[in-house]
Structure 1
Amino acid sequence: MRRIRSKLLLAFLILVLLGNVAAFFVYWSSSKITLEYSRSFRSFLLLNDISTEAKTMYEKVNAYAIEKDRKFAKEYLTSKQKMKSYDQALRKDAGLHAAIPSIEKYQYMMRTLINESDATMTHVKEGKIEEYAASVKEVRTVSSYIQEQTMTLLDDELSEYQILYQSLQKRHQTYALFTLCLFTLSIGVALWMAYMIAGGISRPIVHLSRSVKEVSEGHFDGTNLHVTSKDEISVLNEAFQRMRQEMKMMIEEIKQKAALDQKIKDMKLKTLQNQMNPHFLFNTLNIVSRMAYLESAEATSRLIQSVSTLMRYSLSALSTSVTLEQEVKVVKEYFHIQETRFADRITCKTSIDESCLSVHIPSLTLQPLVENAFIHGVEPKEEEGLVELSIYEEGGYVMIRIRDNGMGINEQEKRRLLSEKEEEDPNILSKGHSTGIGLRNVMSRLRLFYGVQDALQIDSKPNEGTTIQLAIPMKEGPAC
């Protein structure tokens, strides 16, 4: 355990030390050169800024004198503040322009420019035409003097900078040579230490990686690697061997469990096959309907057709999408069945915008909602029950509203219905009578189909009825 750690710690310590020495020397040398360079270069930038700002001050004063626009007055104040800050910078930097006697004269011209510019602005505001004309001329003259003097000062600075640059270049060459030697030494030490350590570490790791690759390819019966050193590699090898054996046992258990699950599925399938085939029942209903029609029992034939249509539609896959027109057709058949069953106790109404019927929705969406309105809403009422289906377009969405004047539900039950948590409670509206599809199933499929959580909304109060509303995006064709 200690051998690898000691080697690595020593190697890293030496490399870090050499690297830090090299980095510190490079930083120190570059900082020193940069500092000396910046001292000289800062003067160029400051003098150039002063010259530019002097020209800007004259332009703003002249523009204000001509156009009397307050915008130029504000810009002049900004330029004036910059010029004052440059004046302070010239005074604070003791090492800047130390050998140039004309700096004091240069600063005097800067202050004169500020004073003349202020006087011009005052004359313009007071409307003294002759005074501000003379002042503008004076501002232009001082600004020109500053720009000319700036070029003279820059020439003097360049002469001093040339001597400094030659000195810096010699020092830079010395630093570069020393840095190159230091980096060469660091690389040599690193290569030597890597070669010494690699022999004791890399060889068992290579063998171990081959064993890992064999396991990744599904071969769990490979030979064990024997590691003689008592270090981290040996611990890793032992852990890998245990893991390989445990994975082998787990795979065997999974295979046995899969075989058991397949047997259970086969048993369930046989159980389902022993039940009545719903297609056989659907075909039988069609035969009964035709016989009732031939015997002139038209009402009975119509009722059987409605039941047959509902049954055939319920056999479609829930994962498919259908047009709203198909869903409405099934709902109308269901309305016919319930009107026949309850006679005058319940009234069914529809208000449908035909232009909305081409949109797609999940199969068996509306019928379970309408059935829910009958079972839990108006069926307990003894008379004047009402179930209404409305479809209309609003704000780029197809709005589907199913309203009943039945018993209604309280807020607790409504929150429970709209939640995604599955609850096994016979009092919850979870299962439909005709198709076995309840309100919670419809909401789950709507969330998956449209990728939203609030595609279905419920508005209900006890003894005041229930309204279920769906908002479907107004686009034709199957959903992506």
Structure 2
Amino acid sequence: MKRVTGWLKGRSIAIKHFLFLFAGSLILFGLLAWNNLQDAEQLFRKQVLSDAQVIIDRTNLYLDAYLDNVQNILLLLSTREDLLDQGMEQEASAALRKYAEINGTLYKTMYLVRADGKAMSNTQVYLDIIGNPHLSKLYRQAQSNYGIMISEPYDSPLSGKTVAFSLPITAQSGGKVKGVAIIEVDLIRLTNMLAQFMNTRNQTFSIITSKNNIVNAFDASWPLYYYALLPYNTSVFPPELKADFVTRIGDLPVGITELNGAKGKMVAVKSGMNKLGWYFIAFIEDGFFYQNIISLYNNYKTAALVWVVILLISSYMMSRYVTHPVRTLVAKMDRVRDMEVLPSISVQREDEIGRLAKSYNAMMERIHHLLTETKEMEMRKNQYELKMLQSQIAPHFLYNTLACISSLAKQHKIDAVRETIRALVGLLSFSFDKSTEFVTLEEELEGLRMYAHIQTVRYGDKFELDIDVAPEALHCKILKLTLQPLVENAIFHGLAPQKAKGLIRIRAYTRKGRLMIVIRDNGLGMSSEQLESVFTERRKAPSKHRFTGIGIMNVQERIRLHFGAEYGLSIASLPQVGTLIRIGLPAAALYD
């Protein structure tokens, strides 16, 4: 230490500043990098274990539901004590076959065992030929229990490796035990159902009873790497977990524990005992927690190397800058020359952690699914609101129209009455049609002409409607009742208040994949303040004289909801000159 101190005393200020700045920055960066790596590792580890715990809890719920289903079948069989009577053997076998066909995915073999030792099964032929030596033991065990008994795993001649559920059946009169109903479950199928959630290259599971017997069965159809994590005794077939390992996992406490497996260190997540009296244990390879961190380590190594180079250069330059006042003019010029030839340093650091484990990805997918779902619900809400407005026909509109028809009838203008009624019926049919929200521009214009005819009857020769549409635009798709609210707005607010006859001109054409519709009127127009408030009218109650509750803001929202934010309305207006509305839509045919 004294030698280092003595060496520093003889160095210049620039070297001392450089060394202290470089060493301090390097230590700080190293501590931050190490802390971030540890946090990332712990976060990933915690997330994987949390997801494993969630899967275990759901698996236990599934097993509890499995037990409830078995209980229901046994209770159903207990109500059929008549099947245990002498001479009812064929009926009993037929009833068991019926139950087994309905619940074939859950159970392997079902039995009814009488007090005299006679056994009936859904596979009676195989039982008569092969037999089942375990039935007598199961019968004795069931007699000592009042409820449903669950056996330890054993090898059945008919069901393979299985677990039996048994329930004594008592006579309704006297309460004497007439027999026992026994169900042997298909452990291979049960294991396969659970393996879909838990078995991967890096994790597996096991189910153990309170007496340290393994419940899950070996299935040769699964890839061998599913069984590589745990120590199996391969000298027998099917392979079995080694006895000392079974003892170790049986003694594990509930929760998270580290232990050694066939491939080294691993983490065990043990659940509490479920209704079946079983413990579900998930095993996760310890290296799985680090394999996705390797890329992060590599990124930090690369970033650290680049950072050291940058730190060296920056510290050197800062040291030179600090010692600038004591430099001579020649040294200063040399430094300027060096700076001119010094190549520029460009550093692009890749500090992204990247993807985490599959379980973490799944959690994220869910959350998505939730956000997307929320967005869709909001979209449907907006659609329902617009459909409600579309279906609201103002009563004053109908009243005024019917009053006009009555007036025409009194004047014996039969043709005018006929045309007005035809226009009203057509307009109402067009509005109430719920088969589709989209129509062609030609159909929309036809509905608009009927509406304009009714308003002409009502207001007289107050305005004129001029429509000029390019032929290729007639078959383009448009939202129903898009033009009517805009023309209605022009009549009520632009033309009706003025004394002179007004003109509403509608032009439509296609250009560069867009359908352009221009509505122009020579009415009163709007000031800049009125124009700014047009798109806030959705917050106001609609006029009772309108045909529907749809306003300009609703039209704008419907277009953007269905076609996107790049489409919609643009409005220009001058007081005492008129208003121009331009509608931009995609030029798509309705039946493409």
By the TM > 0.5 criterion, same fold? no
How does the TM-score come out when normalised to structure 1?
0.38
Q: Which has the higher strand share?
A: 2
Q: Which has the higher helix share?
A: 1
> Which of structures 1 and 2 has the bigger CA Rg?
1
